[in-house]
Amino acid sequence: MRKTRRAKILFSLGGYLFSVGLPLAATLSFFPLWREKGGTAVLAGGTLLLIALCALPLWRGLKALLRSPSVWGLWLLAFLAFFLLESIAGEMCVICFFGLIGNLIGSLCFRLGRKWGGGGGA
């Protein structure tokens, strides 16, 4: 029993690592988190938005915590993403590709965790 619980937790952590970590690494490799503006360093708003997009696999857990299905939140996020990022479509294709690969691997990890961990899931 304890071994299956550990396997489920391990696969869930691996799923989140691939689903969030891989697109996050691709985002941070293309866009700097800090930029110079008027002699001072400020956070780059576009990069912060991309980081929020990378964290979308965590949305399900956040939604479960809030107990409020919010489709409007996803539409708002999509609107902001497309509005603010229209000029960097090429880089976004690369980031989305790594996001797709990471989430496919993460989904496989979650599925293996449910199979070996006995039900439930992240």
Q: Which of 50, 49, 59 is nearest to 99 (CA)?
A: 50
Q: From CA 43, how far away is CA 46, in angstroms rounded?
A: 9
What integer pLDDT is reported at residue 58 of this predicted model?
A: 78
Q: How far apart are CA 77 and CA 92, in angstroms?
A: 15
pLDDT over 70 percentage in the chain: 66
Q: How far, in Å, CA of 47 to CA of 55, rounded?
A: 12
106-117: average pLDDT: 86
For residue 24, name the pLDDT band (cuts at 50, 70, 90): confident
121 vs 11 pLDDT, higher one: 11
Per-residue pLDDT at 64: 66
* pLDDT at residue 21, rounded to an integer: 84
Q: What is the pLDDT of residues 53-97, one digit of tens each?
A: 777 777 776 666 556 555 665 566 667 767 766 767 777 788 888
Residue extents of the structural domains in the chain? 2-117
Percent of the chain predicted with pLDDT > 90: 0
Measured between alpha carbons, how far is residue 29 from residues 1, 25, 50, 74, 108 in Å?
41, 6, 12, 25, 25
Over residues 35-46, mean pLDDT: 67
Amino acid 120: pLDDT: 52
